[in-house]
Amino acid sequence: MRSSLALPSRRLILSYVLDWVMILGIAAVGGGFNRVGPYHRPFSLMNLDISYPHTLKETIPVWLLLVVGMVVPGIIVLLVCLLFIPGPTANPRTPKTLIWRRKFWEANTGLMGLGLSLATAFLITEGMKNLFGKPRPDLISRCNPDLSRIQEFTVGGYGQPLSDRWVLVSYGICQETDMDRLDDGFRSFPSGHSSFSWAGLLYLTLFLCAKFAVAIPFLPPRPYSQEKAYTALEDEQRFTLPAYTKHDRPLSPHKSTDTSSTPSASDTSPPIIPVRNQAAAPPVWTLVIALIPFAAAIYISSSRFSDFRHFGFDIISGSLIGIVCAWFSFRWYHLPIRTGAGWSWGARTRDRAFGIGVGIAGYVGPEGWGSSRMRGDEEDGVGRNGVSGVNGVNGGVDGANGMAHSTSIIGPGLDGAADGSVQRDAVVDLPVGNGSRV
């Protein structure tokens, strides 16, 4: 066996290069929408809702939005992957090549998720702006209408008996010569600052919560049981011990039981862990760190209201677009926060890199990552009866020739032998296909 780790196949690498090209393409289409003039919705010169002054100095200009919503989250993702991957579960004798491969993969998926979130939010927002053409709160100030030509540009309205100005007019009445400035006055819905900031900063919050296990404590499902040891008050003498066997468990304060009996040697009952000891709240400082991007997104969104750039409905709608894009993009590349141990999903396998057909269950198959000429390489990690996983886990269920709930960097699927057997290395003991170690 070779002690070095084989590189992924060119087909697999090209598939992820194509993914990056598609993400950039989505952003490019959104940029193209930004260059196209929007629909100019007729408006009333008597509408006070669009009569706010046009402020030249924005609280959060576009360049600062790009820095806060895209550059800073990208840098933080890279730093977290560089400094905190693979984590304390990694064997200290793990090859450096494998560690750096995991760092690179986590950084790649982290940045791809961020890019997908921002690109989709940008595309959706810019497209909707042009389609709706809703006037901004400062439209009339931008427009500088020629009041002497109201009749010429009247397009509708039933208020003429009351006033000649109580009508709807087209944008042709505007004397503003800068069409970019005037067109931007018809891009109120939805808020681009809100969608972009939430798409980037909420994604960063989710990413930090995953990597540092910031989640509300939860109880995994368990079969119904009337065993009182699950919910009873622990014995004071065993307060620091969360696990109890059937014959050595906490007693209910309302029931007296003889504890002098000795458990049978043949008793193989699983330990009973009280429900209150099965989870705990993370430190508050981790919550504060995760909420900083969340608070920044709120501030950026609110600035658009105080700058008279958007109505409240525009800001809420833009925020919802960013929130949905951030959540979707995070889950597209990352395991659930509470149960994923901070890892992202692994890579597709070689033959399924560009897509699959009808009747194929998923994008992870027995062929592994390597090229077809390297079917026996360490990184294929396929057991005889189970489909290989990636990023240290197999692709089955609960370790039955499949997923082993191990967060170790040296997990099956990365460095197991192609047939699921043990691969001996001069420095590191590698796991067998079912997650056990020799």
> How confident is the model over 171-230, as pLDDT tens digits?
999 999 999 999 999 999 999 999 999 999 999 999 999 999 999 988 878 777 777 776
Q: What is the mean pLDDT of the chain?
A: 79
Band (270; pLDDT cuts 50, 70, 90):
low
In sequence order, what DSSP letters do the residues of 204-226 get, joined into one string? HHHHHHHHTT-------------
Q: What is the pLDDT of residue 38?
A: 95
Residue 266 exposed, middle or buried by CB count within 10 Å (0-12, 13-18, 19+): exposed
User: Does 22 have pLDDT greater than 90?
Assistant: yes
Band (7; pLDDT cuts 50, 70, 90):
confident
Q: What is the pLDDT of residue 268?
A: 59
Distance, CA of 187 to CA of 176 (rounded, Å): 16
Q: Is the peptide bond before 220 cis (omega within 30 degrees of 0)?
A: no
Q: Which of 324, 318, 326, 286 is nearest to 301 (CA)?
A: 318
Q: What is the pLDDT of residue 130?
A: 96
Distance, CA of 151 to CA of 157 (rounded, Å): 11
SS3 helix, strand, coil % of the chain, rounded to 5? 40, 5, 55
Q: What is the pLDDT of residue 369?
A: 76
Share of the chain above pLDDT 90, in %: 51
Both tokens of residue 151? 């009749």
User: Does 254 have pLDDT greater than 70?
Assistant: no
Distance, CA of 306 to CA of 301 (rounded, Å): 10
Q: What is the pLDDT of residue 259?
A: 47
Distance, CA of 324 to CA of 318 (rounded, Å): 10
In sequence order, what DSSP letters do the residues of 373-390 get, joined into one string? GGTTSTTT---SSS---S
Q: Which of 406, 430, 404, 405 is nearest to 418 (CA)?
A: 430
Summarised one tens digit per residue, pLDDT across range 47-93 is 999 999 999 899 999 999 999 999 999 999 999 999 998 888 888 88
Summarised one tens digit per residue, pLDDT across range 349-390 is 888 888 888 888 888 888 777 766 555 544 444 433 444 444
User: Does 240 have pLDDT greater than 70?
Assistant: no
Distance, CA of 246 to CA of 144 (rounded, Å): 82
Both tokens of residue 209? 């919560």
Q: Are 159 and 167 in contact (CB under 8 A)?
A: yes
Q: Which of 230, 228, 211, 233 is nearest to 220 (CA)?
A: 230
Both tokens of residue 105? 């993969």
CA atoms within a 13 Å half-sphere pointing along the CA-CB vector of 338: 9
Distance, CA of 43 to CA of 209 (rounded, Å): 46
Q: What is the pLDDT of residue 159?
A: 67
